[in-house]
Amino acid sequence: MNEINNEIAKGAAWMVAFKFLDRGIGLASTVVLARLLAPTDFGLIAMAMMLIAALQLLVAFSFDVHLIQKADAGRAEFDTVWTFNVLFGLAIGAALALLAHFMAGFYREPRLEAVIYTLALGCVANGLANVGPVMFRREMRFDREFKFMLGKRLAPVAVTIPIALWLHSYWALALGQLTGTFVAVALSYYMSSYRPRFSLAARAELFHASKWLVVNNMLAFLNGRAAEFVIGKFAGASGLGVYTISNEISTLPTTELVAPINRAAFPGYARLAHDLARLRDSFLGVISMIALFAIPAGLGIAALADLMVPAVLGWKWQAATPLIQVLALYGVLGALQTNIGYVYLAVGRPRLITIVAFVQFLVLLALLLPATWYHGAIGAAVAFLGTALLMAPVNQILIAHQLRLSLPAYLARLWRPLVAGLAMVLALVAFKQVVATQHTLALAATLLAGIAFGALVYSACLYLLWRVAGRPDSAERVCLTQIEQAMHRAGVRVNFGLEPR
């Protein structure tokens, strides 16, 4: 068990490192582009991306999950997946071309038609990507995965910002997206020696294994992006642009940091699927690591949103402040739930994910429609938060039954980050009352000071709580061990008292 858990930990470390770089690059890019472009520009691209995402759902079989899960998957399976990807890419590109004019009329945005035509090229190109890099995750070679994903991330940024400086137009976003797709395809062949061939030999096996994943992906889309269709229709491109940026920034440190942990955990879960005790221990270890980072990140963003929006995005984005606060809390709840689905996949129960997602969609729909109709984007954000609050107990009951997990054992991994996070929020509220100001330069300095102060308060409280709890074998110990070893290598001697009582 220790060997697999160590591999998961190493994989998570590589993926978290990537996400820190990825989201750092993404945040810097978003800040620059928010200063150069208007909310309408972001909303226009969001409208096109919603259509693309909706069409991709029709062919979202998640074949890569089967390639990772099946230990003896060979050329027949890999070639069949690549062939389907090519065919699906062509089909989506053709569908986008046919729907472009209709969507421009639906949203009353004539500019949208040309944008959809442009992004359709990217969908066709994306279908040609090599399927070989899936082996990086299957073999838990996350250093290779790190380099592959980082290369894909840098390319669109290098194109988008210069075009935005030149044109101050939504075309910067569209062309950046297209460039990123082309570079990703090229990298997939450069970094993997696997060379796919046209084949449909394993089509029956793949469709049988992935049938529930299609439904799951559709429900995930509806649960995650349903509000954007409504906002785009009734609030226009500007309202949708504000919501899109708010959602990206508010959930950035939670879902985006959690995603690499989940990505690394799934192959390990798949190996432990037939050993309930080891799978339960691994799940608890992953959840504790997620809580350690997601809780302070989400609560910190909610507490500092009123400083962050004018200091980072500019005063023209002021309407995003309450949205970011609500969605940041939603991001925390979502982050603590996302890993559960990977356990169900590992034990071969994707149908359970479907049932939960369908119930969640019904709850969301019941809250979303009236909330968005009467209160616009902020109503949609509150609907998402309310849905997460209602579904959290359901998810916990189901995973507890699946893993025979007691509530005290689960809460033992969460209470210290939660208490330390709440202490951090109270400290930040007091901090803002003392030093907050309305001048832009002072706001930026105050924001940075608030982030540093919040991190210090959280870390100190968490460490004290861990010591009071008897220095258990936990995510805190893992992180402190890594910090202590890194400082020792740098010639700095510290002792965090890692020896248990």
pLDDT tens per residue across span 186-215: 888 988 888 988 888 877 777 666 666 666
Whether 501 shows a pLDDT value over 60: the answer reads no
- CA 369 to chain centroid, in Å, comes to 25
The residues, any chain, with a CB within 8 Å of residue 232's CB and separated by 6 or more, are 43, 46, 47, 50, 107, 239, 240
Among 7-16, 151-160, 259-268, 364-373, top mean pLDDT goes to: 364-373
C-alpha to C-alpha distance for 141 and 135, rounded to whole angstroms? 8
C-alpha to C-alpha distance for 108 and 390, rounded to whole angstroms? 36
Please state the rounded mean pLDDT for residues 88-113.
90
* Higher-scoring residue by pLDDT: 331, 220: 331
Could you say which DSSP state residue 315 is in? G
The torsion angles phi and psi of 414, rounded to 5 degrees, stand at: -115, -25
Question: What is the predicted pLDDT for the residue at 322?
Answer: 93
What is the SS3 assignment for 200-222? CCCHHHHHHHHHHHHHHHHHHHH
Closest CA to 270 of 74, 142, 139, 404: 139
Closest CA to 299 of 247, 251, 364: 251
Q: How many other β-carbons are positioned within 10 Å of the β-carbon of residue 430? A: 11
Question: What is the predicted pLDDT for the residue at 116?
Answer: 93
Phi-psi group of 197: left, alpha or beta (phi > 0 → left; psi -120 to 50 → alpha; rest → beta): beta
How much of the chain, in percent, has pLDDT values that exceed 70? Answer: 80
Closest CA to 297 of 323, 334, 261, 329: 329
The residues, any chain, with a CB within 8 Å of residue 411's CB and separated by 6 or more, are none
Question: What is the predicted pLDDT for the residue at 1?
Answer: 47
C-alpha to C-alpha distance for 160 and 173, rounded to whole angstroms? 6
pLDDT of 224-275, one tens digit each?
Answer: 666 677 777 766 677 777 888 888 777 765 666 676 677 667 777 777 778 8
Task: Count CA atoms within 13 Å of residue 198 on its CB side.
Answer: 2
